[in-house]
């Protein structure tokens, strides 16, 4: 499996250690709100131009199953280790940290979801989840769309529901080519009701916090559970005082009785 990293601030790490969880944030409240709509627009434009009958059907029925407002929650990762651009953009300009995750982050990660009532176990059926690298090449994106639509069973009932799932996949994993240098991977879950009526009663796994763009939703992913530790190591940024290495190790051990490797960045930043 590809090694994956999450860059964030020291303050965020403090909160992660204290709570024992990392947040999967609301996709619509990301740093670039336009980013979430790109894949959905590409999919609908292609369907409208190449499958007009399907487009009319989806346009008529999709409102019943649309995920646009139901909520998708994601964690952004990257394959770039100790990378200057990541430190600048997401690692508090070198004053933050990066977390290296192990393979458990992608293996059955939904089984680790926690709700306000302390639910732990297999993810409830209302969650649709996926994991993988973002796709930046427009030709590859179009090919995926074409293959998915061509393989859709012509007589399948509830096509709008299937299309809704693919619409969400496109929004999460399709990104504009300008972002290719970020080498981003994503894990996400979404409230995905089996019928539109059930949606309003299926929100117990969602919490709220004040984010940069206002009040935002999130779901929590435990990362220090003894039987399934998700962190391999932590790297402190190029501008972080190295005394933090020992303090981070001590804090994690005191809070969770786990010994996690913490190391300094080897990258030079001015």
Q: What is the pLDDT of residue 195?
A: 33
Q: Give dist(CA 191, CA 73) in Å, integer.
A: 9
pLDDT over 60 at 54, yes or no: yes
Tally of domains within the chain: 1
pLDDT at 135 > cutoff 50: yes
Question: Could you list the residue range(s) of the whole structural domain that residue 209 is in?
Answer: 4-264
User: Is 8 a member of any domain?
Assistant: yes
Average pLDDT, rounded, for the chain: 79
| Structure confidence by residue, pLDDT tens digits, 161-205 | 667 777 888 888 999 999 999 999 998 877 654 433 232 333 346
Tokens standing for residue 61 = 């029925």
Does residue 40 surpass a pLDDT of 80? yes
Identify whether 269 is part of a domain. no
pLDDT for 131 equals: 82
| Lowest pLDDT segment from 6-20, 117-131, 180-194, 198-212 | 117-131
Q: Is residue 169 part of a domain?
A: yes
Average pLDDT over residues 141-155: 79
Residues whose CB falls within 8 Å of the CB of residue 168, separated by 6 or more in sequence, listed in order: 67, 72, 128, 190, 192
Q: Is the pLDDT of residue 16 over 70?
A: yes
What value does the mean pLDDT take over residues 205-220? Answer: 82
56 pLDDT higher than 60: yes
Helix axes 159-173, 138-150, angle to 10 degrees: 160
Q: Is residue 186 part of a domain?
A: yes
For 60-115, the pLDDT digits (tens) are 555 444 444 456 788 999 999 999 999 999 999 999 999 999 877 766 444 444 44
Contact between 263 and 235 under an 8 Å Cβ cutoff? The reply is: yes
Provide the pLDDT for residue 236: 98
Please tell me the least confidently modeled range out of 96-110, 136-150, 206-220: 96-110
Q: CA neighbours within 13 Å on the CB side: how many for 259?
A: 0
- In sign, the C-alpha dihedral spanning 75, 76, 80, 82 is negative
């Amino acid at each position: 499996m590809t090694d994956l990293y999450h860059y964030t601030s020291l303050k965020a790490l403090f909160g992660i250690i204290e709570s024992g969880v990392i947040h999967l944030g609301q996709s619509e409240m990301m740093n670039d709100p336009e980013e979430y709509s790109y894949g959905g627009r590409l999919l609908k434009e292609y369907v409208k131009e190449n499958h007009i009958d399907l487009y009319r059907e989806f346009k008529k029925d999709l409102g019943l199953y649309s995920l646009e407002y139901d909520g998708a929650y994601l964690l952004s990762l990257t394959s770039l280790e100790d990378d200057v651009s990541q430190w600048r953009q997401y690692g508090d300009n070198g004053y933050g940290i990066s977390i290296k995750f192990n393979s458990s982050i992608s293996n059955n990660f939904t089984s680790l979801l926690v709700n306000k009532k302390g639910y732990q176990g297999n993810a409830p059926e209302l969650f649709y989840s996926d994991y993988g690298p973002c796709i930046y090449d427009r030709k590859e994106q179009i090919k995926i769309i074409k293959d998915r639509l061509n393989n859709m069973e012509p007589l399948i009932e509830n096509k709008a529901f299937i299309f809704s799932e693919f619409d969400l996949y496109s929004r999460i994993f399709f990104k504009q080519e300008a972002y290719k240098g970020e080498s981003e991977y994503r894990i996400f879950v979404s409230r995905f009701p089996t019928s539109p009526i059930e949606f309003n009663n299926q929100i117990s796994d969602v919490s709220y916090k004040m984010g940069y763009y206002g009040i935002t939703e999130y779901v929590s992913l435990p990362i220090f559970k003894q039987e399934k530790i998700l962190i391999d190591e932590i790297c402190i940024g190029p501008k972080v005082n190295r005394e933090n290495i020992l303090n981070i190790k001590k804090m994690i051990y005191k809070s969770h009785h786990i010994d996690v490797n913490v190391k300094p960045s080897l990258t030079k930043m001015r």
